[in-house]
Homo-oligomer: A and B are copies of this chain.
Amino acid sequence: MRMSEGVEWAMHTCLNLTWLPTGQAVPAAKLAAFYRLPAAYLNKQLQALARAGVVSSTPGPRGGFQLARTPEKITLLDIVVAIEGPEEAFRCDELLKRGPGADPKTDYRQACLVSRAMRRADLAWRRELAGQTLADLKADVEQEYPASPGNTVNRFTALRA
């Protein structure tokens, strides 16, 4: 059970956008060039983030992507779910429907204690990710790596040259 590499890309791309002036849209090609990522694949993640309302895109020659909300209103869970989808990690195919004493009318995703135990773990994971915003992450980075915001802006500027 592993996430796609797109989660790492999306997470760092959103974080980098917090250091740019509000309202400044960055073309997808520049966001990809920042980490030398394949532009078509990063663009796929950007579209997913846009569909989820995490980033917004502006068309046109000066268009591009920016955060759709303030970093305080974007959680790490928002970003993960945008890329990986909302489904729970545990796949319950209601195996108990084929078991002895099965009731065809029962929803075993709710009734089955295996499914419920797995869901509790999934919720613990989601709670942890939902409890941290992009603003928290930004603040943590700025405290531990004070050069990061400047480095980020400088690289975007250089890419723009």
A59 at interface, CB cutoff 8 A: no
Tell me the smallest distance from the CB of A69 to a CB of chain B, in Å: 19
| Chain B residues near A76 (CB-CB < 8 A) | 117-118, 121
How many copies make up the complex?
2
A38 at interface, CB cutoff 8 A: no
Secondary structure type dominating chain A contacts: helix
Chain A, interface size category, equals 35 or more
Tell me the smallest distance from the CB of A61 to a CB of chain B, in Å: 26
Q: Which of A2, A8, A152 is the most central at the interface, judged by chain B CB atoms within 10 Å of its CB?
A: A8
Whether A35 contacts B2 by the Cβ 8 Å rule is no
A96 at interface, CB cutoff 8 A: yes
A99 at interface, CB cutoff 8 A: yes
